[in-house]
Amino acid sequence: MIESWHPQINIENTNRGHMEDPSRRESAPLLPRNLTWIVTAVLVATLACMAYTAYLTDSGMPSWIVPLSAAVFVAAILLCFVARMDVEVSGNGVRITYLFRSREYPRDQIIDKRFGDLENIRNYSQWNLKGVSHKSYTRVGEEGGVALKLKGKRVVVFSSSDPEGMYGMVPVEEVDEIA
């Protein structure tokens, strides 16, 4: 039963080093399918109760509220089914597509990286960062991920079904130390 709560994740490995042809790509829905079906059932049941109350009882609920709620619920259900997070890692950097927005983090912007449990890697105290902007891209049900320390006081965290594998593929810009 627990196995059915994990989302279907597609992982592809290629050895091409272009951002267009990622060396590793991970794609999965934001919500596990079982959870999406539960949300769908709850919204449909809520709509059925609203329709019963509005049309068959004398509750004073306006009749326009049911079609409006139906439209909002259908939009929410469709969003639950199409919402995805894709992570592409290549020799040139990392591209994260979350919902419908894609962000690229080029290799020359990545200073450091960490992987592990999301709760642990969100603790940035080992990086001695103050005044930093944080961005997290996570899927429901995944507990592991990768954190990237970027130039410009930015940190990006993304969840992964194989955080160690993703960590190994993330390129880091070599920093030349001045003596």
pTM for this prediction? 0.73
Tokens 């004073």: give the residue. Answer: 60
State whether the Cα torsion 24-172-163-85 is positive or negative: negative
**Nearby residues of 85 by Cβ (< 8 Å), 6 or more positions away:** 27, 28, 29, 30, 96, 97, 98, 99, 137, 138, 139, 158, 159
CB atoms within 10 A of CB 40: 17
- State pLDDT tens for residues 99-119: 989 999 999 999 989 999 988
Confidence check: pLDDT of 15 > 70: no
Q: Rounded distance, CA 97 to CA 21, Å? A: 15
Q: What tokens were used for 79?
A: 């969003």
The predicted structure's pLDDT at residue 120: 81
- State pLDDT tens for residues 134-179: 889 999 989 999 999 898 888 899 999 999 989 988 888 766 544 4
The predicted structure's pLDDT at residue 60: 84
In 3-state terms, what secondary structure has residue 82?
A: helix
Q: What tokens were used for 110?
A: 């990545």
The answer to whether 7 touches 85, Cβ cutoff 8 Å, is no
In 3-state terms, what secondary structure has residue 24?
A: strand
Question: What are residue 27's phi and psi, to 5 degrees?
Answer: -135, 130
Closest CA to 103 of 137, 80, 132: 137
Confidence check: pLDDT of 67 > 90: yes
The predicted structure's pLDDT at residue 179: 40
For the domain covering 2-30+83-169, report its CATH number: 2.30.29
Q: In what order do the strands lie in the sheet with 154-159?
A: 110-117, 144-150, 154-159, 133-137
| Range in 10-14, 49-53, 75-79, 89-93 the model is least confident about | 10-14
